[in-house]
Structure formats: structure tokens, C-alpha cells
Amino acid sequence: MRKDSRDLPLTHKKPNGDYFKVLSIDGKYVPTKEYIYWTSAKHRTKTPYKLRFPSYEVVGFDQTIQDFNLFVEWCHKQVGFSYRGYVMDKDILGVVCGYKNYSTETCVFIPARINAFLISKNKAVKHYTGVSFQQECQKYIVSCSQLNGKNKTLARVNCPVEGYNIYKAEKVRLAKVLAAEYEGKVDRRVTDILSNFENYIDLFTVNPTNKETINAQK
């Protein structure tokens, strides 16, 4: 979930013990940070959204956070929830465990730069992330986005598999930099994955339906 709700107020309890979904601030009703996260997650599991984004077809909204009050209580216990610039993410843990629902087991709060790090933006040759073919030189160009947001060319090679291995090595190096930078500032499971990214990188970069790509790396 990309929206970080950085400027929204945090909720608090009503006299009856329930949490406010919206608050009156300077005469205007403003949704709380928790409510935005909750409604946004629910929206992404509805049929209209799934029709627009087929990758969400199997994504559900777990019973553990169906109740707004329980969701709020869970949020307030999570590392990074109140940090500015953080987003609620279900993918980093969900991809690893194979469980794509929004749930207390998969959702964590991470900085936007970790979120962006896990999204592959490079054009790929036959799903070899980070590898593109350049007609001018008749070689495969290997590139990888750096932590400053800039794209860096790593090599020019003759084989896409070789190129993908170069890309993976750089991506793993950057993951370990992030793990060290955010140690104690995100859920420990997140830094564990980043610290050992060589064991998980294919889950984030390889299309599981592409047997040619998977077999090429064995």
C-alpha cells in the first residue's frame, strides 16, 4: 500500500471505547491514519479493484483485521506505524510465505524506499529482471536502481543469464545496506529477509510461470 498517510491524525477512543474513524479538526472532518489504511486495504480486495488489477485476484482481507477496533490495536503495536514516510505493506512477508491476504501475519510498516526497492522497474528480457537487449551494440545491458533512486548500468554481456546473475549480486548487496540502515526501525522479519536476500531474491524478480528462466538458474 503506497499511501503513507503522513499528515493524517492518529485516532483515539470514544467514550464508549470504540476508536474514531474520522476526527473534527478546525471545523473539518478528517479521516484518521488508521482508518485510511483500513479502508484502502479493504478496497483493494473488492471485485472492481481486482478487475482493474488482476494481480489482486487472490488477495483477501483477513478476519483478524476485519474489526476496525482490533485493527487499530494491532497498528499501535507495530514497529514503524507512527513513523513519517512509512507505508503499510503486505508483499515483503506475503511473497516469502506465499500468503497474499492483508492480515496481521503479512502486513508490516516499512519506509517508502524499502517498498520501492522491492518493485522491479527495469525492462527485462524473457523475465530476466534488470537485463535489456541493446540493438546498437548487440549486447545485453545490465542495470539496477540504486538506493538514491538513480539507475546504474552494471555491465554489458552476451548472455541474459550472466546478466541476471550480475543484477542479483548488486540487488543483494543493496538489500544488506538497507537491512543495516533500518535495523530496529522496522519489523525484525523485514530486516531478516533483507539481510539474507540472496535466499529470497528470485521470489521478487522471477515470474514463477516462466520455467525457462527458473531452469536457467539451476
> Which comes out higher in pLDDT, residue 99 or 4?
99
- Domain chopping of the chain, boundaries: 1-112, 120-218
Complete DSSP assignment for 26-52: TTEEEE-HHHHHHHHHHHTTSHHHHHH
Query: 188-195 vs 160-181: helix axis angle to the nearest 10?
Result: 140
Nearest to 9 by CA among 61, 72, 88, 102: 72
Q: Which of 2-12 are b and which e, b meaning 16 or more Cβ less than 10 Å from the residue's Cβ? A: eebbeebebbe
Note the pLDDT of residue 55.
84
Q: Which of 128-139 are b and which e, b meaning 16 or more Cβ less than 10 Å from the residue's Cβ? A: bbbbeeeeeeee
Element (H, E) at 133: strand 131-134
Sign of the dihedral defined by the CA atoms of residues 119, 125, 128, 130, in that order: negative
Note the pLDDT of residue 217.
47
Q: Is the pLDDT of residue 214 over 50?
A: no
Report the predicted TM-score, pTM, of the whole model to 2 decimal places: 0.85
- Of 25-39, 125-139, 187-201, the least confident: 125-139
User: What mean pLDDT is reported for the chain?
Assistant: 88
Note the pLDDT of residue 120.
62
Note the pLDDT of residue 124.
56
How far, in Å, CA of 170 to CA of 217, rounded? 16
Q: Name the band, by pLDDT with cuts 50, 70 and 90, for residue 184.
A: very high
- Amino acid (1-letter code) at residue 85: G
Note the pLDDT of residue 5.
57
Q: Which long-range contacts (CB under 8 A, 24 or more apart) does 189-197 make?
A: 189/93, 189/108, 190/92, 190/93, 190/108, 190/110, 190/114, 193/92, 193/93, 193/96, 194/114, 197/171, 197/172
26-76 pLDDT, tens digit each: 889 999 999 999 999 999 999 999 999 988 988 999 988 899 999 999 999
Q: Which residues, including other chains, have CB under 8 Å from residue 157's CB and lie 6 or more apart?
A: 139, 140, 142, 163, 166
Q: Is the pLDDT of residue 3 over 60?
A: no
Note the pLDDT of residue 163.
94
